[in-house]
Amino acid sequence: PRHVVHQHFVGFNTLSNICLIFFPLCTSMASHPLAAQYPQVHVLNLSQQMKSLMTYIRAADCDREDFVFYADRIVRFVVEEGLATLPYAPAKVVTPTSSEYDGLHFGASICGVSIVRAGESMEKALQQCCRKIRIGKILIQRDEETAEPKLFYSKFPQDIAERHVLLLDPMLATGGSAMKAIEVLLEHGVKQKNIIFLNIISCPEGITALVTRFPEVTIVTAEVDSHLNEKKYIIPGIGDFGDRYFGTDLFSKAK
C-alpha cells in the first residue's frame, strides 16, 4: 500500500536518508535521444528511486500531501543538477587538521526566477540548496484573443543581467511560457548562455521548440514524456501541476 511505502521512505535513519536523497545525483545522466541530439539538454537518470517518486506524483489518486512531499524531492534532484551546470572556480581552504584542501566555489552570481504560479513550487528546493539566493517572479498567461503567451508581470533583481538565472517551471509542454519568459530575461540583459531552465516533466515538442529558438539555453529535466495530445497536454503527463501542488484542483483531497 502507498502509505506503507511512504513510511518506509521517511522513517530511515539519517545516513540512509542521505543515501536516498543524493544517490541518484551520483549516477550518470540518462542517455536520452534528445540529450544526445542537443548537448544543452540534461535528463536525469531514472534510477529505481527516481522512477518510484515519479510514479507517486503521476498517480491520479495521489493526495495533495503525498504529491507535495514527493514532488519536492524530485525538484531537489533537478535543482542540484542545474547547479552542477554552473561555472565553478578553484578555491583553497584550511581544514580542522590545519591542512589545505583544493576545492571549488561558485564561479558566478546566480538568482532564481519562477514562472508564476507552478514555478513557485520549486523555490523551496532552490532556497534549501542556496540559502541566500534572490528569486524573481514572472507572470505569463495566454492572451484570450491571440492564444499567445503574454507577459502580465515581472520583478527581477536589479543586477540580473550580471547573473546566471535558474528559470523555474515544473512542466515543459509547448514551450510557449518558457520561451516568453526567456524573451523577457533577454530584454533585461541576461545572456542566453546564462539561463538554465529547470523542470520536472517535459516532452519532445517543447524541448525541440525551445532549443531551436534559444540554442544556448540549458535545459535540465527529470523526465521526457512521450508526446503532446491534440489538446496540447503532455502524455502520459501529470495533470495540472500547480493545481495539484497548491490544492486548487477540483479533485484535490486536501482539506
Please identify every residue annotated as catalytic.
142, 146, 240, 243
Beta strands in the chain (DSSP E): 41-43, 88-94, 100-106, 110-116, 135-142, 149-155, 164-168, 171-172, 195-202, 218-224, 227-228, 234-235
Lookup result for grid cell 538565472: 165
Residue pair 224/173 in contact by the 8 Å Cβ criterion: no
3-state secondary structure of 66: helix
What are the two backbone dihedrals, phi and then psi, of residue 186, each rounded to the nearest 5 degrees? -65, -40
Strands 88-94 and 100-106: antiparallel
Distances (CA, A) of 158 to 95, 123, 130, 136: 36, 19, 19, 10
Residue pair 139/116 in contact by the 8 Å Cβ criterion: yes
Report the C-alpha gap between 231 and 113 in whole angstroms. 28
Report the C-alpha gap between 29 and 234 in whole angstroms. 22
